[in-house]
A and B are shown apart, each in its own frame.
Chain A
Amino acid sequence: MPDLLASILDFLPPILFAALGGVLAERAGVVNLGLEGMMRAGAFFGFLAAFRTGSPWEGALAGMAAGMAFALVLAFLAIHCRADQVVTGIALNLIALGLMSYLMKALLDREGSTDSLPDGAMFGRAWLGRRLPVWIALAAPFVLHFLLYRTVWGLRTRAVGEHPRAVESAGVSVARLRYIAVLGSGALAGLGGACLPLGLEGRFTEHTPAGQGFIALAAVIFGKWRPLGAFAAAAFFVTAQALQLTLQGSSVAWAQGIPKGFFHAFPYVVTLLALAGFAGKASLLVGRATPPAADGVPYVRGDGRSPLAGR
């Protein structure tokens, strides 16, 4: 049991940070399907910086910067070019997939996986023998909750995701709020990615983060687009992953016999059920998962008569 709790805590930061990033962007009305790619960029550049400098802090900063660079592309295309946000996110995932493998070969001359970081270049062990990102991650949802629900900026950001026209008529820039949210989303996803090499695995592989960005996306939805909901959902999903490892290592025969795939498919199945409204009160959420009203809808300023109006 202590082992199970330990692996839950260890696996939590990457998914949780990315999920909070997803919440932030979507509450501001921008769908971020690029979480996986931003995590991947954050993981690679986080690894690279820590590998070169020996400092996990510089690694974390580099990871956040890389996530933000990808987010900037999403923000620019979504906010200024009215691009399809779903397609843009998918493109960013593809680019991150190709570019990071390419850079791993070009800059580090490695294929498949990098070397391991020396322990000094990873975050140190703090309380209960868990590495530092674990404890920062546990605080993060409460910080984001406070920012979104207790500050003026948070109110405006949520409003921009529900009814951007109203925010505009109050004299506040929709684009500016969305830029901040999307860049923050990229920083969080990049940080989540950086936690993989810096706080968990010690290396970067060609598959990193192996779908964790999509589990984060599922956590956003399952947590009903709320920071604390995403926290609960991420913890719930991570428990399924940790349980798989614990059971596999256990001596109980029937537990070992449960296929790995059941545990790994579990987060996606319950999210699908929650979306369909089948999960009901048995799940962490009550009722159906409904996204912010203006989620994914490009915003056109003023009277909507752009040079390309009607397209």
Chain B
Amino acid sequence: MGRIRRVLLAEGFQSATIPFVAVALAVVTCYFVIGLTTPANYPLPRWERPKEAYRKLAEGSLGVKFDPVTKEVLPLDPISKNRALGETALKTALLILTGLSVAVALRAGLFNIGAEGQFVVGAITAAYFGWSLDLPSAVHPVVVMLLAMAAAGAYGAIAGLLKVWRGVHEVISTIMLNWIAFHLVSEWLVTGPLNVKRLMGAGSPSVIEAGTPTIRDSAALWTLFDPPNRMNAGILIAGGLAVAAYVFLYWTRLGYEVRAVGSGPEAARAAGIPVRRRTVLAMTLSGALAGLAGALYILGTERHYAGAVQGGYGFDGIAISLLAANHPLGVLPAALFFGAVRAGVTRLQLAPVSIHKSFADLLQGCTILFVTAQYLFRMAIQRAARAIGPEEEHDRA
């Protein structure tokens, strides 16, 4: 019994179980939301609807079908399965990067709400240089991605600089910067200087309706499979960067200094670490990661910046980082989960389930809420531990 008590009370155990508990509670909450709002004319019993919804979610994301009668999990036909897995990989790649963006900044004690805006800056930069530069296809995507990272990194650095120079809290400045980027890009650049008609002339062939011109074929991100599987190299790049971020933060001196600033700026300063420079560095890296996500979005699937892009990937990054306890490697499974949900919701829109695709936002919001409510969970566990046996000396650490 004492052993169970010790496990329950261990900080490691509690931290490790919180993400799973939060996801499970969010799934259960949404199950009830769907069941309680089943329309009166739904052909099947009321509580069949949420079950069917989750089955559709699995179909659209993992390409598997769950047979409710035989209780078997069967793969879909190869084409649907490949398409589903491809979509999940695409979404996951973007989410890994925005998740890393938030996580890296949080390791430095900075809450980057601005991944959304940095994503937009990266995307518009990639859209422009994907069209304007003429390079061989082996280097074109690389150059464009680096340019997008540089632009978004600079945009992220603004918040870092405002913090160290003027004491502006990064939460507020990044929120403002999000909207500035969104409005200036979608209501000025895309309709004005970078508009396809302005750049190519209305009469030229291959002119699309709105937004920027289509990028050159040489700039398109390398695909890994044949259609309909749209999976591209983005997932490899994002996965590699997650490992790189881990190595940087935990194995290098610079990364150690960034984390030291996050653990306590005063102590870091006393230890001779240039706190201001590390703060700006962290915000720059954070912005660059979110900007790369924007570049993958354009070079991978969209091929041009169409009107208003507000994919919410930046805000998703906050959810992912939180679920991953801000660990770069933890970002991988968290992004995979939300990527699968994002890919799967397109299937929810089909009748008879007919659920709006923003269900993903609901599920994600609930997950964050349950993570932030972890205090209740920790209290419940301590109560459970107390119920198992009397308090012992070594429990009070």
A residues within 8 Å of B by Cβ?
33, 73, 77, 80-84, 86-88, 90-99, 101-107, 109, 111, 206, 211, 214, 217-218, 221, 259-262, 264-265, 268-269, 271-272, 275-278, 291, 307-308
Contacts and interface: CB of A to CB of B under 8 A. Distances in A.
B187 A259 contact: yes
Contact of A265 (B179, B359, B374): B179
A272 B191 contact: no
Given A103-B37, A214-B179, A308-B375, A272 B359 contact: no
Nearest to A82: B375
Contact of A81 (B188, B318, B356, B373): B373
B378 A86 contact: no
B33 A102 contact: yes
B366 interface: yes
Interface stretch (B58-66, B146-154, B166-174, B251-259): B166-174
A265 B180 contact: yes
Contact of A275 (B37, B173, B356): B173
A46 B185 CA distance: 32
A93 B368 CA distance: 11
Nearest to A81: B375
15 contacts: A81-B374, A82-B375, A83-B375, A90-B368, A91-B368, A94-B368, A99-B33, A101-B356, A102-B33, A102-B37, A105-B354, A107-B37, A261-B185, A268-B183, A277-B166
B184 A105 contact: no
B186 A261 contact: yes
A97 B366 CA distance: 12
Interface string B108-121: 00010100000000
B373 A83 contact: yes
B319 interface: yes
A98 B185 CA distance: 25
Given A86-B171, A111-B356, A94 B315 contact: yes
Given A259-B188, A272-B173, A276-B162, 9 more contacts: A33-B171, A88-B368, A90-B113, A95-B362, A98-B359, A206-B358, A261-B187, A261-B188, A268-B179
A67 B201 CA distance: 48
Contacts of B382: 307
B88 to A, nearest CB: 19
A95 B37 contact: no
The 3 nearest A-B residue pairs measured at CB: A98-B362, A261-B187, A98-B361
B380 to A, nearest CB: 12
Contacts of A86: 111, 113, 171
B24 interface: no
Interface residues of B, number: 57
A38 B33 CA distance: 19
A87 B369 CA distance: 8
A261 B183 contact: yes
Contact of A90 (B318, B355, B373, B376): B318
Interface in B318-377: 318-319, 322, 354-356, 358-366, 368-369, 371-376
Contacts of A81: 372-376
Contacts of B169: 291
Contacts, number: 159
Contacts of A214: 175, 179
Contacts of A87: 318, 322, 368, 371-372
Contact of B356 (A80, A102, A259, A264): A102
Nearest to B162: A276
A94 B319 contact: yes
B27 interface: no
A275 B166 contact: yes
B369 A91 contact: yes
A109 to B, nearest CB: 8
Contacts of B182: 211
Contacts of B379: 307-308
A309 B360 CA distance: 35
Contacts of B322: 87
Contacts of A211: 179, 182
Most chain A Cβ neighbours within 10 Å, of B162, B175, B188, B312? B175
A89 to B, nearest CB: 10
Interface string B158-200: 0000100110110111011101101111111101100000000
Contact of B172 (A88, A92, A264, A275): A275
Interface in B96-142: 111, 113
A90 B368 CA distance: 9
B372 A77 contact: yes
A102 B354 CA distance: 10
A101 B358 contact: yes
Contacts of A92: 365, 369
Given A86-B113, A87-B368, A260-B187, A98 B168 contact: no
A265 B37 contact: no
B348 to A, nearest CB: 10
A111 B357 CA distance: 10
A97 B378 contact: no
A26 B180 CA distance: 24
B114 to A, nearest CB: 12
A265 B368 CA distance: 29
Contacts of A272: 162, 168, 173, 176-177, 180
B39 interface: yes
Contacts of A308: 375, 378-379
Contacts of A80: 375
Nearest to A220: B172
A214 B305 CA distance: 24
A211 B358 CA distance: 17
B316 to A, nearest CB: 9
Contact of A106 (B39, B176, B180): B39
A259 B179 contact: no
A33 B38 CA distance: 31
Given A90-B318, A105-B354, A275-B168, A77 B363 contact: no
